């Protein structure tokens, strides 16, 4: 099915990173859900310590093979970029905590881990 598609785009959200130990925000045990209930945030690892998962790496393979043309992420954790997906094949809707970009020339640096 994927190989037969002319243009395949993948949209990811918190579910791809929770298995890396990153907390989600809106789920039943999410950060904002806990905050709304007056509870402390759930235990999780920091974004800096999280590593790309097997799912992240599978997407790298699909992008590198040309099957997936673009990965759109709702996550700010930087795991797609750290997994090796090229910046021109990645759209991070809410930004990336580890990417600093010049507003004048567009040059960027990926750091923080």
Is residue 25 exposed (0-12), middle (13-18) or buried (19+ Cβ within 10 Å)?
Answer: middle
- Tokens representing residue 14 in the block: 């918190």
- The CA distance from 35 to 42, in Å, is 10
* CA 13 centroid distance within chain: 7
Active-site residue, from 3, 94, 103, 111: 94
**Is residue 94 annotated as a catalytic residue, yes or no?**
yes
Q: Is the distance from CB of 68 to CB of 59 less than 8 angstroms?
A: yes
DSSP 58: H
**Residues involved in catalysis:** 94
């Amino acid at each position: 099915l994927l190989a037969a598609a002319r243009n395949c785009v993948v949209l990811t959200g918190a579910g791809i990173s929770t298995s890396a130990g990153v907390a989600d925000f809106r789920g039943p045990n999410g950060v904002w859900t806990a905050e709304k209930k007056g509870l402390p945030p759930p235990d999780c690892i920091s974004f800096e310590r999280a590593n790309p998962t097997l799912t992240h790496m599978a997407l790298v393979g699909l992008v590198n093979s040309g099957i997936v043309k673009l990965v759109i992420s709702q996550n700010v954790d930087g795991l797609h970029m750290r997994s090796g997906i090229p910046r021109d094949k990645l759209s991070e809707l809410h930004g990336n905590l580890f990417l600093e970009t010049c507003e004048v020339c567009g040059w960027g640096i990926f750091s923080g881990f």
